[in-house]
Amino acid sequence: MGIYIKLLIMMVLISIIPILVISSYATYASTQTIQNEIRLNQQMFTTLTNDRIQDYLSVRKGDADILANSQIVVKNLKRFKYVHA
């Protein structure tokens, strides 16, 4: 094998190995960053959904309390019990 071929192989190896290492690290770092962003977005969505559900249930509980204390509802429930007893 001539010196030209040896130099060519050495130059290719010297240039390809660092490129492979750097691109592998860049790919790994990018993947980690993307996964972290997705995780944060999912946590934020979960928190917002939980807050919305809690707000909805709180309002519905207030509605139920109002209905439970309504004289019209209480009166009609008593009448309904009497009719179906």
| Chain segment 64-76, per-residue pLDDT in tens | 999 888 888 888 8
Question: How far is the C-alpha of 13 from the C-alpha of 16, rounded, in Å?
Answer: 5
Q: At what angle do helices 71-83 and 3-68 cross, to 10 degrees?
A: 80
Per the structure block, which two tokens stand in for 75?
């009166």
**Domain that includes residue 10, residue range:** 3-83
**pLDDT tens figures, 27-36:** 999 999 999 9
Res 37 pLDDT > 90 = yes
Mean pLDDT of 14-20: 91
Res 14 pLDDT > 80 = yes
**Tally of structural domains, the chain:** 1
Q: pTM for the full model?
A: 0.59
